[in-house]
Structure 1
Amino acid sequence: MTSTSTTSLPELDTAAVVESIADLVGANYVFPDVARQLAALLRRRGAKGSYRAGTAEELAEAVTADLRSVNGDLHLALKHHAAPVPPERGAAGLAEMRREFDASLCGVPRVELLDGGVAVLEIGPKMFPLDWAAQPLAAALSLVAPARALILDLRRNTGGDPDTVAFVCGYLLDGRTHLNTMLSRQGELAEQSWTPPFVPGARFGGSKPLSVLTSGNTFSAAEELAYDLQQLGRAEVVGEATRGGAHPREGWTVHQHLELSVPVARAVNPVSGTNWEGTGVRPDVPCDAGAALDRALDRTVARLA
């Protein structure tokens, strides 16, 4: 078995892999009606020989296209990993995130003070698991706490841990605040997200000017951070509409090089009563992502003046 992107399908039991994917989607996808449609589609396409591609990577692309063909859920995917991935549930995604964490200054690649006492804090490329990210985030958020205003840059952030979203919000809001509710596949309450009652270090607080920068690549948990702060009236979102993925997902290893991502719940914001699935977070100040920092800085300086 090779560990390159040219893993050939004769080394796979393709029919068994596709059947396991259909089973997992049918049993776990957050919308049962769509889950049944997708499981039937995968089995029908498999029976027709539609997945007889040459590589595992091509299989991942074909299956992902079919998974997204019913309702466009961008969290539904069959992900190809060039290196072999561990078999434990969720382990493949964590291993990939750990490599990104170690290469990105622990998820805080930029902390800077600009003219006029305006701080810029970039969080990315992920909202990393809180047990990894709490210390560097606490240090960065405490460092910008004395600033007159803050610009939070999420333009390169593609998602991660909702607990980390709540942790960050704890520094940007006053008092314990309800951020999000997760409903299960059966429509029952699965979990609520609140800001923590205590955060280490200094808070920026809930009254000074706050802007959030977004791009068309901002996704998932990063979208939640922008959406939560926007819906609470705490932040002005500047930039591009985000990708539109609101459903929390779990991952299953279905082959040594393939990980299935399936949304297992849906988010309901306590202010809007809905979420950003399919629509993205709509900016308060639309502009190209590359111009978002300058636009936010100009507006912030004018507000402070």
Structure 2
Amino acid sequence: MQRRILCLATLLALAPLARAQHVDDNVPITAADRHDVIETLATQLQKRYVFPDVAAKLATTLRARDAGGTYAKDATIAAFGKHLANDMRTLGDDGHFNIHYDPNFNPPTDERPPFPDAAEIARGREEVAERGYGIDSIARLPGNVGYIEVRGFGPTELVADAMSAAMTLLQGTDALIIDLRRNHGGEPNTVAYLMSHFFPVGDQRHLNDIYSRADDSTQQFWTNPNVQPRYSKPVYVLTSSGTFSGGEEFAYDMQTQKRATLVGETTGGGSNPGDIYPIGHGFGAFIPHSRSINPVTHTNWEHVGVKPDIAVPAADAKKVAQVAILKDLVGKATDADRKAELQDALAKVQSGKDDAPVYALRR
């Protein structure tokens, strides 16, 4: 479990080659090294990728492109890595495929790597804390509407308390906006953990299944009966074309469970979880080894993305959700003062104007 915690904490922060490792664009790579990387990649694809038939075709195509000189002009680490990653995603038709580079990449050769030491575990915890446990911001918007932006779903063991604390702060709001427009994924267990806050105690939901090629097994993901607090008010989820992987799962599961209204853009379309595998000379390939199966639809969002209930540009999604929520609250308000407050909040959101904060002492 500890090894999984550290690996997931690190993977949460991984980005594409040029951004993640800040590699000097001018670091050279030889033709022989390029060939070795592609040969190892082809082998890893055939061994790991969740769809063996696709893996075989992709491995053959990459070898043929190497033999035909497709990568001959990629004289640097950065150029080669970017070219290879793009080819994998395009030819393999899977947005999860990626190439990473770290000159110090020294993965364990054992399929079951040893537990990290105390210093490694502490560093993993620091990395998660430095990223706010995946939570970018929390706010109470005008009209008593809650707002939380979740940037990623880190290891449940490390982020669960923070997520529940955030939900405690939002517990008194009359509706909630969950912003996933910049969420690129994370841990399926944590998706289920956060979702558990949105169903009554005793109402356990089967959220998702993940099939793994490695051991031909399927793992089920359910809401957690022990999670507190529970939130029963309306929920709106914001999406963008950049919402990906675990971020998409949260949106998809909330939609299929009829627990949220989705506002924004169709998401990126990546539902196949995976890991980074070594392919030599400091390179690692992210290869999906599993696939999601939703228990309601019996399919997933691969290639097609998650379609919003209210389709608007991502930049407008928050405002559109606020307006929809406030209109609903105005319609349900019975107290005259509360109704006037909500109407004022609605008018300000619609106009794009808001009262400036008052810092002077009010007498």
TM-score for the superposition, normalised by structure 1:
0.89
Deviations 1:49-104 (A, max 9, x none): 322311112111222222223342001122345x633424899xx9x998874443
**Residue in 1 that maps onto 2:77:** 56
**Residue in 1 that maps onto 2:225:** 197
What CA distance in whole angstroms lies between the structure 2 residues aligned with 1:98 and 1:243?
Answer: 29
Alpha-carbon spacing, 1:97–1:225, altered in 2? closer, same or farther (3 Å): farther
Unmatched tracts of structure 2, length 5 or more: 1-21, 114-120, 331-363
Give the letter aligned to residue 75 of structure 1.
H
Q: CA deviation at 1:202?
A: 1.6
The answer to which of 100-109 and 208-217 deviates more is: 100-109
* Higher relative contact order, chain-length normalized (CA < 8 Å, sep 6+): 1
Give the 5 Å matches for 1:63-212.
Answer: 63-81=84-102, 84-88=104-108, 101-124=128-151, 126-174=152-200, 175-185=203-213, 188-199=216-227, 201-205=228-232, 208-212=233-237
Q: How many residues align?
A: 296
Unmatched tracts of structure 1, length 5 or more: none
Alpha-carbon spacing, 1:256–1:130, altered in 2? closer, same or farther (3 Å): farther
Alpha-carbon spacing, 1:54–1:102, altered in 2? closer, same or farther (3 Å): farther
Tell me if structure 2 keeps the 8 A contact 1:84–1:256. Answer: no
What CA distance in whole angstroms lies between the structure 1 residues aligned with 2:317 and 2:136?
Answer: 18
Give the letter aligned to residue 26 of structure 2.
T
What CA distance in whole angstroms lies between the structure 1 residues aligned with 2:142 and 2:306?
Answer: 28
- Sequence identity, in percent? 35
**Residue in 2 that maps onto 1:47:** 67
What CA distance in whole angstroms lies between the structure 1 residues aligned with 2:94 and 2:326?
Answer: 39
Tell me if structure 1 keeps the 8 A contact 2:48–2:289. Answer: yes
Tell me if structure 2 keeps the 8 A contact 1:182–1:265. Answer: yes
**Residue in 2 that maps onto 1:284:** 309
Give the letter aligned to residue 322 of structure 2.
L
Q: RMSD across aligned C-alpha pairs, in angstroms? A: 2.6
Larger Rg: 2
Tell me the SS of whatever aligns to 1:127.
coil
Q: 1:221 aligns with which of 237, 243, 246?
A: 246
**Residue in 2 that maps onto 1:231:** 256
Tell me if structure 2 keeps the 8 A contact 1:181–1:189. Answer: no
Q: 1:9 aligns with which of 29, 34, 37?
A: 29
Q: CA deviation at 1:152?
A: 0.4
Give the letter aligned to residue 134 of structure 1.
A
The answer to which of 244-253 and 126-135 deviates more is: 126-135
Tell me the SS of whatever aligns to 2:36.
helix
**Residue in 1 that maps onto 2:279:** 254
TM-score for the superposition, normalised by structure 2:
0.75
Q: CA deviation at 1:187?
A: 10
Tell me if structure 2 keeps the 8 A contact 1:160–1:221. Answer: yes
Give the letter aligned to residue 241 of structure 2.
G
What CA distance in whole angstroms lies between the structure 2 residues aligned with 1:15 and 1:90?
Answer: 28
